[in-house]
Amino acid sequence: MQADYVIIGAGSAGCAMAYRLTEAGHSVIVIEHGGTDIGPFIQMPAALSYPMNMSRYDWGYMTEPEPGLGGRRLVAPRGKVIGGSSSINGMVYVRGHARDFDHWAETGARGWGFADVLPYYKRMENWHEGGHGGDPAWRGHDGPLHITRGPRRNPLYHAFVEAGREAGYQLTEDYNGEKQEGFGPFEQTVWKGRRWSAANAYLKPALKTGLCTVMRGLASRIVFEDRRATGVEIARRGGTEIIEARAEVIVAASAFNSPKLLMLSGIGPAAHLAEHGITALADRPGVGQNLQDHLEVYFQIAASQPITLYKHWNIFSKALIGAQWLFTKTGLGATNNFESCAFIRSAAGVEYPDIQYHFLPFAVRYDGRAASEGHGFQAHTGPMRSPSRGQITLRSSDPAEAPRIFFNYMSTDADWRDFRRCIRLTREIFQQPAFAPYRRHEIQPGEAVESDDEIDAFIREHAESAYHPCGTCKMGAVDDPTAVVDPECRVIGVDGLRVADSSIFPRITNGNLNGPSIMVGEKAADHILGRGPLPAANDRPWIHPDWKTAQR
């Protein structure tokens, strides 16, 4: 089995690259350990809590005990299915703030500033404004990735935005356009009522060309001749096979599995590899380091009116919603139900938003457990630029064994200060007049949780991962000892090998990571093909004119 390019991982970035490489006439083999994405649990947007909790679709990883969270071990889902995590995620579409990418460029990822990545966002997007306002000139209109907005029929979606306005915050028609900061409508990768995953957008069209093949198997190591990657060893059907790459091998296996695979193949911190009997081919101390995530709490309010999604939290209603979706792809099943959001700054002197809100007209956990209070609503919120850094390390040299995942959450004083501020700002938003007709009381944290110590205890017990791991194969300058790939995604120290997925992010972007991960696949494809980058954009993002002196 051989092809021009072998891509490890049929996830967000891998599917995008498969599409662009076949579009250019190259043969591609995509290696994916997971199986098919066919079925209502994945394709029905409202069913999003199911696939994330199914071993059939999820790698089932857990973190190590996290000292900053009282020694709790958190679930760390990643998609093990065609489409990768874009097949099990919440379908929220956020590009990230312009300044995030400028920071990448300033810290060594030259050519990845906002002006450089904006054209790739436009190339990948097929944006449907749907009568909700927005920023057409800033968006793409004929790319493979359909982006829509929910209908926002529930009055609570509008109460959330109005409460933001009453509290003195900005409003924004399109946080993915010129102005991220503010309250407004949320966007989702949903099209015609279906989850529009990277598999639907990119991989399925690539497969139709006849140039792309998906091989099911577990990639166990990258094969080298001298220092050049020539193929991938995979475990399948009880044996091992080698898939050969005539041009290059591309790793797109997630922020957990990409560094794991590099280390199993001899690329990583030499001393750590030696502990597991692996000879270092390239001593790259940055492999597996720089692990980042977004941590969040669910701020929940009990509702005084029975207008929340709780009224559908019974077997009869779920069956009706499911049937309507199955036959018409419409109704409550056709949205992820995250339809309003906000991006705000936590303090004066913060240049651009560092707190995000996902608003949901229902008090429920990601694992599908409803709040005991019945009718309620919630915002998922937390600081977006935590200074804490964790690491991915090998548990053993056995490719079938899960890596050690240690996020090192809440390990700095700044984490606690930022999170306390976030909770107090959130409470103030929910106390605005817009929520008066709907608000009964605070479920969690609860009105009694006021002092720093009480808030800290709440965070320690209740903070959850937003499932945005990244950074473990950092992109940077070739002379940066902590960098793993150069700005063209080539692994430093070997030939014929690239990494392109969320693991190469130098620093976490602001918001959900699916959009930036697909963008990385799009831009990496041009580097792989040896094309010049798309012409830089000269659009100027909106930055609050008084950011130095005002918080809102």
Mean pLDDT of 462-476: 98
Mean pLDDT of 180-196: 98
Q: In this structure, are 334 and 451 located in the same domain? A: yes
Please check whether residue 393 lies inside any domain of the structure.
no
Q: Write the CA distances from 442 to 183, 347, 431, 438, 455, integer angstroms.
A: 21, 24, 10, 12, 14
Is-contact 298 462, C-beta < 8 A?
yes
- Among 462, 497, 522, residue at a domain's last position: 462
Please check whether residue 68 lies inside any domain of the structure.
no
The mean pLDDT value of the chain amounts to 96
- Among 462, 491, 523, residue at a domain's last position: 462
Nearest one of 303, 374, 315, 379 to 341, comparing CA atoms = 379
User: What three-state secondary structure class fits 158?
Assistant: helix
Tell me what percent of the residues of the chain surpass a pLDDT of 70: 99
Q: Is 90 annotated as a binding residue?
A: yes
- What secondary structure does DSSP assign to 39-85, as a single string? SHHHHSGGGTTTGGG-TTTB--EEPPPBGGGTTBPPEE--B-BTTGG
| Stretch (H or E) spanning 497 | strand 497-499
| pLDDT-based confidence at residue 221 (cuts at 50, 70, 90) | very high
d(CA 180, CA 172): 7
User: What three-state secondary structure class fits 410?
Assistant: coil
User: Residue 240: CA atoms inside 13 Å, Cβ hemisphere, count?
Assistant: 12
| pLDDT-based confidence at residue 474 (cuts at 50, 70, 90) | very high
Cα-to-chain-centroid distance, residue 147: 15
Q: In this structure, are 242 and 322 located in the same domain? A: no
Residue 320 confidence (pLDDT) above 90: yes
35-44, 365-374, 384-393: range with lowest mean pLDDT: 365-374
Mean pLDDT of 18-39: 97
Mean pLDDT of 182-211: 98
d(CA 504, CA 517): 9
Please check whether residue 543 lies inside any domain of the structure.
no
| pLDDT-based confidence at residue 129 (cuts at 50, 70, 90) | confident
Burial (CB count <10 Å: 0-12, 13-18, 19+), residue 283: middle
Q: What is the pLDDT of residues 168-186, one digit of tens each?
A: 999 999 999 999 999 999 9
Q: Is 484 annotated as a binding residue?
A: no
Number of domains the chain contains: 2
Please check whether residue 146 lies inside any domain of the structure.
no
| pLDDT-based confidence at residue 460 (cuts at 50, 70, 90) | very high
User: Please, which residues have CB within 8 angstroms of residue 413's CB and are 6 or more apart in sequence?
Assistant: none
Q: The domain that contains 240 carries what CATH number? A: 3.50.50.60
Burial (CB count <10 Å: 0-12, 13-18, 19+), residue 55: exposed
Q: The domain that contains 314 carries what CATH number? A: 3.30.410.40
Q: In this structure, are 478 and 531 located in the same domain? A: yes
Residue 131 confidence (pLDDT) above 90: no
Nearest one of 504, 484, 502 to 494, comparing CA atoms = 484
Q: In this structure, are 302 and 211 located in the same domain? A: no
Please check whether residue 283 lies inside any domain of the structure.
yes
Please check whether residue 550 lies inside any domain of the structure.
no
User: Catalytic site residue 544?
Assistant: no
What is the pLDDT at residue 369? 73
Is-contact 539 138, C-beta < 8 A?
yes
| pLDDT-based confidence at residue 373 (cuts at 50, 70, 90) | confident
Q: What is the pLDDT of residues 97-121, one digit of tens each?
A: 999 999 999 999 999 999 999 999 9
Mean pLDDT of 291-319: 95
Mean pLDDT of 337-355: 98
Is-contact 301 435, C-beta < 8 A?
yes
To which residue do tokens 């967000």 refer? Answer: 12
What is the pLDDT at residue 161? 98
Is-contact 313 370, C-beta < 8 A?
yes
- What secondary structure does DSSP assign to 291-328, as a single string? BB--EEEEEEEEESSS-SGGGG-SHHHHHHHHHHHHHH
Q: What is the pLDDT of residues 416-444, one digit of tens each?
A: 999 999 999 999 999 999 999 999 999 99
Is-contact 430 302, C-beta < 8 A?
no
Overall pTM > 0.95: yes
Is-contact 264 25, C-beta < 8 A?
no
| pLDDT-based confidence at residue 366 (cuts at 50, 70, 90) | low
Q: Is 350 annotated as a binding residue?
A: no
Please check whether residue 545 lies inside any domain of the structure.
no
Q: Could you check whether the bond before residue 469 is cis, i.e. omega within 30 degrees of 0? A: no
Q: In this structure, are 451 and 502 located in the same domain? A: no
Please check whether residue 12 lies inside any domain of the structure.
yes
89-98, 362-371, 507-516: range with lowest mean pLDDT: 362-371
Is-contact 504 489, C-beta < 8 A?
yes
Mean pLDDT of 499-511: 98
What is the token pair recorded at 79? 């998609």
Q: Is 131 annotated as a binding residue?
A: no
Q: In this structure, are 43 and 85 located in the same domain? A: yes
Q: In this structure, are 334 and 265 located in the same domain? A: no
Q: In this structure, are 113 and 214 located in the same domain? A: yes
Q: Is 364 annotated as a binding residue?
A: no
Q: In this structure, are 225 and 369 located in the same domain? A: no
Residue 372 confidence (pLDDT) above 90: no
| Residue 370 vs residue 85, higher pLDDT | 85
Residue 370 confidence (pLDDT) above 90: no
Residue 130 confidence (pLDDT) above 90: no
Q: In this structure, are 449 and 350 located in the same domain? A: yes
Mean pLDDT of 515-521: 98
Domain residues for the domain of 207 are 1-63+74-122+195-288+471-538
Active-site residue identified among 294, 468, 527, 544: 468
- Among 440, 462, 484, residue at a domain's last position: 462
Q: In this structure, are 233 and 115 located in the same domain? A: yes
Is-contact 281 265, C-beta < 8 A?
yes
Tell me what percent of the residues of the chain surpass a pLDDT of 90: 95
Three-point CA angle 463, 465, 469, nearest 5°: 150
Q: In this structure, are 251 and 304 located in the same domain? A: no
One-letter-per-residue 3-state SS of 421-450: HHHHHHHHHHCCHHHCCCEEEEEECCCCCC
